[in-house]
């Protein structure tokens, strides 16, 4: 479990900071085409690295469920919903709600995987969700606004798709190391996202000032961060993983506050404290 937490730290830094970077990039890019660029670059760099290591090969039959789960749900569907939402929702709020797999992963781990969740981890999940509620500040949202309802609905759906990907890799673990499956997962995600970009954003694209952000997200965050998140989801029990992932949005809020100047107040301190407490409690054996 300790090695999984080391990998989690990398995921927190990369993915927690990804949404503020994406928000900044969307000033000069459209959401769906930015998502396409993200998966295309990640597919290319992961394939190149594997080829240099002599490990680029066709997947085995037993890898197919994981490739579908990761490519269609976590990378394809998640990016479609989350990138569309970040265009109309604050970056910090996007990081929080899209990463909250807690309300999906624990019950699905019990129902689908038959995991036994001890009482202290249910308490930890409750603390974590309380922290998320404080951080996201639903009382500050104008719920009469259609964009607000649509954006938040897409983020909840994105979290569900991420959860389904985690469940699929735990239910049908691939015989091939996940790192070697990344090019195929990102390639499948490209097939999923590209039609949405072509239909919804026929005049869209990634323009000049957005390219440095695109290169950082596509070449570093997407391949490395995705591998870290997948490995954490596979190695940790569902209840622990779902609570641990809450550190990602907490870090995202911190980055959004410092870089984008999004408002800071008691909610960030209290919400962050509840999430840290929940992770500490969940990690107890």
pTM of the model: 0.78
3-state secondary structure 134-146: HHHCHHHCCCCCH
pLDDT at 92: 58
Q: Do the beta carbons of residue 210 and residue 27 sit within 8 Å?
A: yes
Positive or negative torsion for Cα 172, 173, 175, 181: positive
**Interacting residues of 17 by C-beta distance below 8 A, sequence separation 6+:** 221, 251, 252, 255
**Interacting residues of 198 by C-beta distance below 8 A, sequence separation 6+:** none
pLDDT at 93: 60
Positive or negative torsion for Cα 278, 279, 282, 283: negative
Q: How far apart are CA 84 and CA 55, in angstroms?
A: 35
Positive or negative torsion for Cα 198, 80, 136, 272: negative
Mean pLDDT of successive 10-residue stretches along the chain, which has 285 residues: 72 77 87 93 94 93 93 91 77 63 73 79 77 70 74 82 86 90 96 94 92 93 85 71 69 66 64 71 66
Nearest to 271 by CA among 83, 81, 119, 140: 140
Q: How far apart are CA 248 and CA 180, in angstroms?
A: 24
Residue 206 sits at φ, ψ, to 5 deg, of -120, 120
3-state secondary structure of 100: coil
pLDDT at 51: 95
Q: How far apart are CA 152 and CA 171, in angstroms?
A: 29
pLDDT at 63: 95
pLDDT at 227: 85
Q: Indicate the DSSP class of residue 26.
A: T
pLDDT at 265: 63
pLDDT at 106: 74
Q: How far apart are CA 211 and CA 25, in angstroms?
A: 8
Domain ranges of the chain: 2-282
pLDDT at 190: 97
């Amino acid at each position: 479990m300790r090695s999984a937490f080391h990998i989690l730290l990398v995921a927190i830094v990369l993915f927690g900071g990804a949404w503020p970077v994406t928000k900044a990039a969307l000033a000069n890019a459209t959401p769906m085409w930015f998502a396409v660029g993200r998966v295309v670059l990640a597919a290319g760099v992961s394939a190149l690295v594997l080829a240099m290591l002599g490990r680029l090969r066709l997947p085995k039959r037993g890898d197919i469920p994981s490739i579908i789960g990761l490519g269609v749900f976590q990378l394809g569907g998640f990016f479609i919903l989350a990138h569309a939402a970040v265009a109309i929702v604050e970056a910090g709020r996007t990081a929080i709600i899209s990463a909250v797999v807690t309300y999906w992963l624990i019950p699905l781990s019990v129902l689908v995987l038959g995991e036994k969740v001890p009482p202290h981890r249910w308490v930890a999940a409750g603390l974590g969700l309380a922290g998320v509620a404080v951080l996201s500040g639903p009382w500050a949202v104008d719920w009469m606004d259609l964009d607000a309802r649509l954006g938040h609905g897409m983020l909840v759906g994105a979290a569900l798709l991420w959860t389904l990907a985690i469940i699929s890799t735990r239910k049908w673990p691939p015989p091939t190391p996940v790192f070697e499956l990344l090019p195929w997962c990102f390639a499948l995600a490209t097939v999923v996202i590209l039609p949405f970009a072509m239909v919804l954003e026929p005049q869209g694209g990634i323009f000049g000032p957005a390219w440095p952000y695109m290169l950082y997200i596509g070449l570093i965050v997407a391949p490395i961060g995705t591998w870290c998140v997948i490995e954490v989801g596979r190695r940790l029990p569902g209840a622990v993983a779902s609570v641990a992932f809450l550190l990602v949005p907490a870090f995202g809020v911190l980055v959004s506050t410092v870089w984008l100047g999004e408002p800071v107040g008691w909610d960030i301190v209290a919400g962050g404290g509840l999430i840290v407490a929940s992770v500490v409690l969940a990690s107890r054996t």
